[in-house]
């Protein structure tokens, strides 16, 4: 069977190990490889790269992977025959890794965000285009079952005219005082690429664009609600990055999006992400897996009267959208598509230019917060 070598850099990290190695590449190997349009299969063959030999060896032993290299500068790895370079390192290290791989003629795939700022993201994109390599970026939320159900509703014109959407994302991330934090500490240090705007707006960019239309402007207020946290070594540190963001965006066709993103909120909703869509003909609320709808014909007619207790249960007026299919892991599905793109030239629209849009929205949102005003999101200078 045909094999395709994949250099996986940053694979000892949370995303690298769980989503990309175990749930994607190893799972695709267990399935017998990625099926190509001609019915043949190609088997991904990972080469794990990093700084820490102990961690890499342990990962290989635990998961039956036979190739690893302690090569933080990638020098020997990029000289080899592996066709794809994948990067899930911390964000500030990504552009350098990608540029080296592009220079070595590798096809490149990476985690979001593409880079810490737009100039660098554009530079990496132009380098990939000049070199003629195939480039792709993780846009995993598009394969969440809940959002795929929203896609189905949109395709069937369930909403009529979409008026507005509301994102409620977040949960309480422990500060590390008393109980260990459940996310890496760099996420709360701006100087290390942290911040909820940096982290989440590169997702919101492609989710909004793919489902509801391009973002035309943003007003965003960020906050660092919790100023001190405790890191992996038990040391207290100053949290310099935003841990909550409150944004209003205007999309094409007059759609308004409101997005609350927070690591300092306690969940009182069905899921960690909830997307509420209101349209002239119907509304829907999607979580990570489920989605419920209310059609215009089933819409109750509430009257405002706080003097009497409400006897109507508004949550009962919604209907579940059925699965009607199997949903695979989001990261795995996109990996399979990227491998088909590299090996069989299948279309793959989630390229570095899309990654640039995520960084652009992030930058516009920070500028909006900084200047206290609405900021236009222009066309990409590519
Ligand atoms: N798609 C998603 O839903 C999603 C979710 C979380 C994070 N991410 C992205 O994935 C990336 C990694 O996030 P994570 O949560 O896995 O972080 P992590 O801290 O768990 O892992 C980071 C990886 O980078 C490596 N690294 C860090 N500093 C390094 C250095 N100086 N030299 C060489 N290697 C270094 C680490 O060894 C590790 O392998 C980030 O860019 C983040 O934005 C994406």
Write out pLDDT tens, residues 129-183.
999 999 999 999 999 999 999 999 999 999 999 999 999 999 999 999 999 999 9
Tell me what pLDDT residue 246 has: 99
DSSP H helical ranges for the chain: 14, 27-30, 53-63, 75-79, 94-103, 118-131, 145-155, 196-211, 330-344, 352-371
Task: Give the CATH number of domain 141-328+360-371.
Answer: 3.30.360.10
Overall CATH class of domain 2-140+330-350: alpha beta
Query: What is the rounded CA–CA span in Å between residue 21 and residue 28?
Result: 10
Ligand 1 contact via 87 beta carbon (within 6 Å): no
Tell me the pLDDT tens digit for each residue of 244-280: 999 999 999 999 999 999 999 999 999 999 999 999 9
Tell me what pLDDT residue 72 has: 86
Range(s) within the chain of domains with CATH label 3.30.360.10: 141-328+360-371
Is residue 249 packed enough to be buried (19+ CB in 10 Å), middle (13-18) or exposed (0-12)?
buried
- Structure tokens that stand for 268 in this block: 């009182």
Tell me the pLDDT tens digit for each residue of 298-309: 999 999 999 999
What distances in angstroms separate CA 267 from CA 44, 277, 320, one per listed residue? 38, 20, 21
361 touches 114 (CB < 8 A): no
- Structure tokens that stand for 274 in this block: 């909830």
Tell me the pLDDT tens digit for each residue of 101-125: 999 999 999 999 999 999 999 999 9
Ligand 1 contact via 88 beta carbon (within 6 Å): yes
User: Confidence class of residue 311 from pLDDT cuts 50, 70 and 90?
Assistant: confident
Q: Ligand 1 pocket test: which of 9, 15, 354 has the largest number of ligand atoms within 8 Å of its C-beta?
A: 15
Is 245 strand, coil or helix? strand
Range(s) within the chain of domains with CATH label 3.40.50.720: 2-140+330-350
Ligand 1 contact via 23 beta carbon (within 6 Å): no
Ligand 1 contact via 274 beta carbon (within 6 Å): no
Tell me what pLDDT residue 45 has: 98
Q: How far is the CA of 14 from the centre of ligand 1 (A)?
A: 7
Percentage of the residues of the chain whose pLDDT score is greater than 90: 98
Ligand 1 contact via 142 beta carbon (within 6 Å): no
């Amino acid at each position: 069977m045909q094999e395709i070598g994949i250099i996986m850099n940053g694979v000892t990290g949370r995303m690298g190990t769980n989503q990309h190695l175990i749930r994607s590449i190893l799972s695709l190997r267990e399935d017998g490889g990625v099926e190509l349009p001609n019915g043949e299969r190609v088997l991904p063959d990972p080469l794990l790269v990093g700084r820490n030999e102990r961690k890499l060896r342990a990962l290989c032993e635990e998961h039956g992977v036979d190739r690893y290299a302690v090569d933080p500068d990638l020098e020997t790895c990029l000289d080899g025959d592996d066709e794809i370079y994948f990067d899930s390192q911390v964000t500030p290290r990504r552009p350098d890794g990608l540029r080296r791989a592009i220079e070595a003629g590798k096809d490149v795939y990476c985690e979001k965000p593409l880079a810490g700022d737009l100039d660098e993201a554009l530079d990496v994109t132009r380098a990939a285009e000049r070199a003629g390599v195939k480039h792709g970026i993780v846009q995993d939320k598009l394969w969440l079952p809940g959002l795929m159900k929203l896609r189905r509703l949109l395709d069937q014109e369930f909403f009529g005219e979409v008026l507005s959407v509301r994102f409620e994302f977040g949960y309480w991330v422990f500060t590390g005082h008393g109980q260990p934090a459940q996310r890496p500490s760099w996420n709360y240090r701006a100087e290390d690429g942290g911040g909820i705007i940096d982290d989440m707006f590169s997702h919101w960019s492609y989710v909004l664009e793919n489902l509801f239309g391009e973002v035309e402007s943003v007003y965003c207020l960020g906050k660092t609600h919790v100023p001190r946290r405790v890191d992996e070594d038990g040391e207290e540190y100053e949290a310099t990055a935003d841990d909550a963001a409150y944004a209003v965006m205007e999309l094409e066709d007059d759609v308004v999006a409101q997005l609350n993103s927070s690591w300092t909120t306690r969940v009182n909703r069905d899921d960690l992400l909830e997307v509420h869509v209101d349209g002239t003909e119907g509304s829907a609320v999607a979580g990570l897996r489920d989605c419920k709808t209310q059609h215009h014909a089933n819409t109750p007619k509430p009257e405002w009267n706080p003097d009497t207790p409400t006897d109507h249960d508004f949550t009962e007026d919604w209907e579940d959208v059925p699965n009607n299919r199997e949903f695979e892991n989001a990261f795995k599905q996109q990996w399979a598509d990227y491998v088909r793109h590299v090996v069989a030239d299948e279309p793959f629209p989630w390229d570095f230019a899309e990654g640039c849009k995520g960084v652009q929205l992030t930058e516009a949102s920070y500028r909006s917060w900084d200047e206290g005003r609405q900021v236009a999101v222009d066309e990409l200078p590519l």
